[in-house]
Amino acid sequence: MPPARPSRVYFYGTCLVDLFFPEAGLAGIQLLQRAGVEVVFPEGQTCCGQPAYNCGYFEEARAVARTQIALFPEDLPVILPSGSCAGMMKHHYPDLFRGQPDEAAARAFAARVYELTQFLVDVLDVRLADLGPPVKVTWHSSCHALRDLGLKGQPQALLGQLANVELAPLARERECCGFGGTFSVRHPEISGTMACDKAADALATEASVVLSTDGGCLLNVKGVLEAQTAPMRVQHIAEFLWERTHAR
Amino acid sequence: MPGESDMNEGGPSGRFAPSASPLVHPHGVTERSPATPSGPSFRASAAKALGDAQLRANFRRAMDGLMTKRSAQFPDPGDLQALRDLGTAVRTRSLLRLPELLEQLEASCTRNGIQVHWAETCDQANALILGLLKARGATRLVKGKSMVSEEMHLNAFLESHGIESLESDLGEYIIQLDHETPSHIIMPAIHKNKGQIAQQFSQKIKDAAYTEDVDELTALARKVLRQKFLEADAGLSGVNFAVAETGTLCLVENEGNGRMSTHVPPLHIAVMGLEKVVARLEDVAPLYALLTRSATGQPATTYLNLISGPRAKDEMDGPREIHLVILDNGRSRIYGDPQLQATLRCIRCGACMNHCPVYTRVGGHAYEAVYPGPIGKILTPQIEGVGLRHDLIHGSSLCGACSEVCPVEIPIPDILVRLRREATHADAASAVAGQGTGRTTSEDLAWRAWAAVLKRPRLYRLSAWFATRFRQFIPGGLPLLKAWTLSRTTPLPAPRSLQERIRKEGMPRV
Ligand code: SF4
């Protein structure tokens, strides 16, 4: 159940946004602030632990996850600009900490986790006014946002509020882009083929930008588009939303 | 029809091709890559399959057809979920009572005149079947589709003992002619196209004229098979569901070959994995509804055989003897683990492979396993050992498309993660075969180093500082980066990290 509209939230940047998409992090914070919410960004953030968890290195994942949970002591929602990391914290932390002394703390933390667009739509019910020129975009749902987290059209709902934005859906919107963390380097042939197919699907929409809520997918698709010098950008949805809706 | 088959694990055989015209799967053929001395390699075989653009395009088309047909059978998400809940509950409940139900099944079958045999290993099962055939002087066996018999490599075994073992499911018949293995658990010859089958038939079936006409090809195979059914000394089939209360063996198929194999010869041998049992006949209905819809998008198959005993005294037809061979082959070990037990819920519908973005691209042979696709990725390592099939358990992006469509909601990605852990850690009390044998020092060190940095924010900050400052100078020769850049450019970190910007510029304000 969505909580009553909070006045303060935590923001968790995630390692990929921290290193590759800092603008998306700043944009996410500002989208929240503009909706009237105070944003707390604790120092000491690193990574949710997903890479090690997915590879079966649970102790290592837990050691990292523990330090991260400790950064968010207050009973406030924790907002992430990533469906995958939010899915990890929300749905896999309980599993990762099963039987551990701090299982209860991990579960309590997990219950407070939200992906950004989910929070903007479901809890804050934000209204966006488009200030940008007409543009055609396409949307890639990350698998973990869809299936771990259960995003149900929140990003599309936000994009739908933007009057000058035309959303051209991918032919295979629910299909994986082939990132899969270490899968992309352990099975680069399969992963690369999937990424190329995703890029081709995006290009076929003739949109100028492909948006997503996940840094991993964005890096993956971006890498292919660049390698093919294709006329299309990738952008994190938070950055896109902020860019189009704030007066400069 | 060629290219399709029984849903017999058994599977319903037959008339469910993904495209309108079943023979028209213009697929390229996957050649199986030879097993390397170090064992099978999913990566190598997959890379080879990916090089075949025709194969990829054709698998894609076939899988698209199957996905469309399946979703047409489930127009209402609420109804689908209700049916999946029921199916999952039935399978879970059956497994909870597995030992008891198996005993009950044996008693019921025995009462019905079906003789029950237990085999712990494939070798035992093969020997058992050979013994049954030899004792009756049988030299010609005709088979309905059975994935368990594939697991046992029964055909090769029997042939090495001078017994003809002929596949009668059209898809299986096609691949048997070319000494291939199934590339899909429901549609074993899905990798072949019409032209290839036409070629094959004209070369390998006596007096067959070359034709690409689907009906003529089917008629050709039918003619051969009819004769074989009549001549066979014994018939073998799989089992989709075995009902403990009534001692009924359910066989789901489309071609009628299952009925012929189990009805015409004097001896019928059924093989099943020990997980196939359900308590009551009512349990079959939801599972059958889920199986046919998930597998081929059919509301029902042409045949659903309920076999509950040999020919009675006053009956005119049916086999004189029925034997049921119940195979373990690692299943009881899987059963012993509460999380992994979910693997045994599987009803072998193949929906997970039809929806898998990896399977769709590489096809079934690349897995170098009896069971390909997502279910194969969790089942094969559990049977053969997790270390041996390390590449298989990592050959997934964990996208979850499989578990999303699985009619009995097997959490395949979660089980993959669990198996990845088992493969690299020998400390847990679980009984997974080959536990810890996939561990390498380099991976071990890598994760330790990863944790050492990420649990120390200062170290992370320092690393982030280096990564952003020297972002242009990431050495391209790093092995991981080399793999990444096979099809992508090197990812370029931002000039300054988010955290550095917040530290220096303060939190943004609106
Ligand atoms: S795992 Fe699920 S989807 Fe795959 S074959 Fe088994 S029952 Fe079907």
Of the residues B80, B359, B406, B412, which should be mutated to test ligand 1's pocket, given the most ligand atoms within 8 Å of the CB?
B406
Q: B145 with B167: CB under 8 angstroms?
A: yes
Q: How confident is the model at residue A5 (pLDDT cuts 50, 70, 90)?
A: confident
Q: Could you give the angle at the alpha carbon of B271 between the alpha carbons of B270 and B277, nearest 5°?
A: 100
Q: What is the pLDDT of residue B53?
A: 84
Helices and strands: H and E segment counts in chain A: 14, 8
Residue A194 to residue B397, Cβ atoms within 8 A: yes
B-facing residues of A in 70-99 (CB < 8 A) are 95
Global confidence as pTM:
0.93
Nearest to B121 by CA among B333, B393, B338: B333
Q: Are residues A196 and B487, on separate chains, in Cβ contact within 8 Å?
A: yes
Q: Does the pLDDT value for residue A237 go beyond 60?
A: yes
pLDDT of residue B96: 97
Spell out the domains of chain B, with CATH numbers in brackets: 2-72+346-424 (no CATH), 74-329 (3.40.50.10420), 456-504 (no CATH)
Domain boundaries, chain A: 8-123, 135-245
A26 in B contact zone (CB under 8 Å): yes
- For residue range A202-230, what is the model confidence (pLDDT) as tens digits? 999 999 999 999 999 999 999 999 999 99
Rounded distance from Cα B414 to ligand 1 centre (Å)? 15
Nearest atom in ligand 1 to B412's CA: 1
Residue identifier of the C-alpha nearest atom 4 of ligand 1: B352
Using CA atoms, how far apart are residues A190 and B56, in angstroms rounded to an integer?
A: 11
Q: Around Cβ B419, how many Cβ atoms within 10 Å?
A: 27
Does residue A105 sit at the B interface (CB-CB below 8 Å)?
no
Asked if B357's CB is within 8 angstroms of A176's CB, the reply is: yes
The predicted pLDDT at position B389 comes to 84
Fold of A135-245: Rossmann fold (3.40.50)
Q: How far apart are CA A90 and CA A82, in angstroms?
A: 12
Q: What is the pLDDT of residues B186-222, one digit of tens each?
A: 999 999 888 889 999 999 998 888 999 989 999 999 9
Q: How many angstroms is it from A115 CA to the middle of ligand 1?
A: 30
Q: How many interchain CB pairs under 8 A, A with B?
A: 207
B69 CA to centre of ligand 1 in angstroms: 16
State the distance from the centre of ligand 1 to the C-alpha of B286, rounded, in angstroms. 15
Residue nearest to atom 8 of ligand 1 (CA): B349
Mean pLDDT split into 10-residue runs, chain B, 510 residues: 43 32 30 45 93 86 95 96 98 98 98 98 98 97 97 97 96 94 94 89 91 92 93 98 98 95 97 98 98 96 96 93 97 93 98 97 95 96 86 95 98 96 82 85 93 95 91 76 90 95 93
Torsion angles phi and psi, residue B39, rounded to 5: 105, 180
- Residue B38 pLDDT: 56
Return the C-alpha torsion angle B11, B274, B141, B114, nearest 10.
-110
Alpha-helix residue ranges (DSSP H) falling in B363-400:
373-384, 390-393
- Chain B interface includes A193 (CB < 8 A): yes
Shortest CA gap A133–chain B (Å):
22
Q: Strand, helix or coil at A207?
A: coil
Confidence at A2, pLDDT banded by 50, 70, 90? low
Chain B nearest-CA residue for A56: B421
Is there a contact between A56 and B425 if contact means CB atoms under 8 Å apart? Answer: yes
B373 Cα: distance to centroid of ligand 1 (angstroms): 10
Distance CA B13, CA B201 (A): 20
User: Which pLDDT does position B26 carry in this prediction?
Assistant: 29
Return the residue in B392, B421, B487, B509 with the most chain A beta carbons within 10 A, the one to mutate for interface testing.
B487
What is the pLDDT at residue B472? Answer: 78
Mutate to test the pocket of ligand 1, among B70, B375, B409 (most ligand atoms within 8 A of CB): B375
With CB atoms and an 8 Å threshold, state whether A186 touches B468: no
Burial class from Cβ neighbours inside 10 Å (0-12, 13-18, 19+) for residue B278 reads buried
Which residues touch B308 (CB under 8 Å, ≥6 apart)?
B112, B114, B246, B247, B248, B249
The whole-chain average pLDDT of chain A stands at 96
Distance B254 CA to ligand 1 centre (A): 19
Q: Does A186 touch chain B (CB under 8 A)?
A: yes
* Cβ–Cβ gap A184/B487 under 8 Å: no
From residue B366, how far is each of A198, B47, B384 by CA, in Å?
A: 22, 8, 17
Does B358 contact A190 at a Cβ distance shorter than 8 Å?
Answer: yes
Whole-angstrom Cα distance, residue A66 to residue A52?
A: 14
Give A23→chain B minimum CA distance, Å.
Answer: 7
User: Which residues in chain A are closer than 8 Å to B449, comparing Cβ atoms?
Assistant: none
Contact A189 B43 (CB under 8 A): yes
Yes or no, beta carbons of A19 and B451 under 8 Å apart: no
- Nearest chain A residue to B46 by CA distance is A190
Closest residue by Cα to residue B410 from B91, B78, B184: B91
Which residues form ligand 1's pocket by a CB distance below 6 Å? Answer: B 294, 346-352, 374-375, 406-408, 410
Residue B9 is predicted with a pLDDT of 42
A45: closest CA of chain B, how far (Å): 7
Nearest Cα of chain B lies from the Cα of A75 at a distance, in angstroms, of 21
